[in-house]
Amino acid sequence: MESLHDAPHSMGTTIIGVTYDGGVVLGADSRTSTGMYVANRASDKITQLTDNVYVCRSGSAADSQIVSDYVRYFLEQHTIQLGEPATVKVAANLVRLLSYQNKNMLQTGLIVGGWDKHEGGQIYSVPLGGTILKEPFTIGGSGSTYLYGFFDQAWKEGMSKEEAEKLVVKAVSLAIARDGASGGVVRTVIINADGVTRNFYTGDTLPLWHEELEAHNSLLDILSSDSPVPMST
């Protein structure tokens, strides 16, 4: 019987990409699992491909990392040959090409987001199997199953940068509350004409949903206090 410690590293994950008026916001949780164990509670699932393009990774950690590494290498060569930064579409199609050609061996779903001078902010979803879809927003990973109805209600065109990031953080925190494979901190990457901004939000700063318990330093703190009341939504 395979030891749970030897199970493949998997990012049962929540990843999100949202366009707004002027750019994109990418977001992800930070939990990486090995079987039933949390292998890394603060992993970074938003990986840089070029100065203006990033990718959110879900599924097998090894598979998503090797695809990202290959795409980054090819994009560096592409940039040298053209003498200008690669577009978001080129980066997304390279991810799609590698994912499709190796679909029988890869277990990873990716979201490519970025900004370029030709088409502005763009989000591309490359799910398991190598399909490519350009969308105004997209969600992926195990936590995404809890978010489709929320995004149908909450997403709107023409959002500001602040509104888009607030939506992404709220969505990831909702998924963390429901999905046992999502957790840790929330990381966001904002990409627009001015460059890239990285932010992260620790677990104790996220809103509580449903019947989540407040963070405590010790089990004794929980036993000695009254039953906590969840934050109202």
Whole-number pLDDT of residue 1: 45
Whole-number pLDDT of residue 221: 60
| Percent of the residues in the chain that have a pLDDT greater than 90, as a whole number | 74
Mean pLDDT along residues 5-12: 62
pLDDT at 228 over 70: no
Catalytic residues: 13
CA separation for the pair 140, 125 (Å, rounded): 8
CA separation for the pair 227, 233 (Å, rounded): 18
Mean pLDDT along residues 109-114: 98
Region class of 195: left (phi > 0), else alpha (psi between -120 and 50), else beta: left
Whole-number pLDDT of residue 123: 98
Whole-number pLDDT of residue 121: 97
pLDDT digits (tens, 9 = 90+) for 34-90: 878 888 999 999 999 999 999 999 999 999 999 999 999 999 999 999 999 999 999
Whole-number pLDDT of residue 10: 64
Whole-number pLDDT of residue 233: 47
| Residue that is written with structure tokens 């019987």 in the block | 1
pLDDT at 196 over 90: yes
Of the candidates 150, 158, 146, the one whose C-alpha atom is nearest the C-alpha of residue 233 is: 150
> Hey, which of 9-13, 111-115, 149-153, 227-231 has the most confident mean pLDDT?
111-115
pLDDT at 226 over 80: no
Please check whether residue 164 is in contact with residue 20, taking contact to mean a CB–CB distance below 8 angstroms.
yes
Of the candidates 105, 97, 85, the one whose C-alpha atom is nearest the C-alpha of residue 124 is: 97
pLDDT digits (tens, 9 = 90+) for 139-184: 999 999 999 999 999 999 999 999 999 999 999 999 998 888 899 9
Strand extents, DSSP E, 132-194? 133-134, 137-140, 186-192
Please check whether residue 126 is in contact with residue 93, taking contact to mean a CB–CB distance below 8 angstroms.
no
CA separation for the pair 38, 182 (Å, rounded): 10
What end-to-end distance do the CA atoms of the chain give, in Å?
A: 44
User: If you average pLDDT over every residue of the chain, what do you get?
Assistant: 88
Burial profile 183-217: b = 16 or more Cβ within 10 angstroms, e = fewer: bbbbbbbbbbeeebeeebbebeebebbeebeeeee
